[in-house]
């Protein structure tokens, strides 16, 4: 993820790679905190399985993910990121809130949501050349989640649709802010 954010910085802003690498917000890894949180809960005995098969066990990591997304909202502005990154951050927050609410009643694939969101964001702002490999990866991730019996096809499709909704909201907000 950090390498993709770095490439997006260079591509979208036309800056030299050294300028993008100098931004702390560009090179930090996303998702590591949530993984460590779930692993810690598993090791402490609060969850029965790291794949979180029980609905009651999924709520705490979902709330943690939303909290992380809220905490990250000021980052793009703090590091003087392009407006597109500010909008992507807001879209990620919206997507995390929707996924957390859905998780209360139904299991949805965060893996599929994240991969599809990245592919769609690259399609919107980087074109098909940038998005195609990540879109193929998103399909493989969705297939793997079903194949490993972690999700049903409907749960993977719901994750993909949540990403589509978040990117469409981002595009609308970005378009409105330019007018």
Place of tokens 């807001």: 90
Cα atoms found within 13 Å of the Cα of residue 168, Cβ hemisphere only: 6
Distances (CA, A) of 68 to 32, 51, 64, 92, 96: 11, 20, 6, 11, 9
pLDDT at 156 over 70: yes
Q: Give the whole-angstrom CA distance, residue 8 versus residue 96.
A: 21
Residues 6+ apart with CB under 8 A from 112: 138, 141, 142, 145, 151, 155, 156, 157, 159, 160, 163
Residues 6+ apart with CB under 8 A from 135: 116, 119, 123
pLDDT, average across residues 118-137: 86
Q: Give the H or E element holding residue 93.
A: helix 83-105
Q: Give the whole-angstrom CA distance, residue 88 versus residue 145.
A: 25
Of the given ranges (38-42, 52-56, 112-116, 146-150), which has the lowest mean pLDDT? Answer: 52-56
In which band, very low, low, confident or very high, does the pLDDT at 165 lie, cut at 50, 70 and 90? confident
Greater confidence (146 vs 178) lies with 146
pLDDT at 145: 92
Q: DSSP letter at 67?
A: H
Most confident of 1-10, 69-78, 159-168: 159-168
pLDDT tens per residue across span 76-105: 777 777 777 777 777 778 888 888 888 888
pLDDT, average across residues 106-120: 87
The domain segmentation of the chain, as residue ranges, is 2-178
Residues 6+ apart with CB under 8 A from 39: 50
């Amino acid at each position: 993820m950090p390498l993709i954010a770095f490439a997006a910085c260079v591509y979208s802003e036309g800056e030299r790679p050294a300028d993008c690498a100098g931004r702390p917000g560009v090179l930090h890894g996303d998702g590591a905190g949530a993984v460590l949180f779930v692993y810690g809960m598993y090791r402490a005995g609060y969850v029965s399985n790291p794949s979180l098969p029980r609905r009651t066990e999924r709520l705490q990591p979902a709330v943690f993910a939303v909290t992380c997304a809220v905490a990250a909202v000021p980052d793009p502005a703090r590091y003087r990121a392009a407006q597109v990154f500010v909008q992507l951050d807001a879209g990620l927050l919206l997507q995390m809130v929707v996924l957390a609410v859905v998780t209360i009643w139904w299991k949805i694939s965060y893996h599929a949501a994240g991969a599809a969101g990245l592919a769609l964001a690259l399609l919107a702002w980087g074109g098909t050349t940038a998005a195609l490999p990540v879109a193929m990866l998103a399909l493989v991730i969705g297939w793997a989640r079903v194949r490993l019996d972690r999700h049903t096809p409907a749960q993977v499709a719901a994750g993909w649709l949540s990403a589509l909704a978040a990117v469409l909201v981002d595009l609308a907000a970005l378009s409105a802010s330019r007018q």
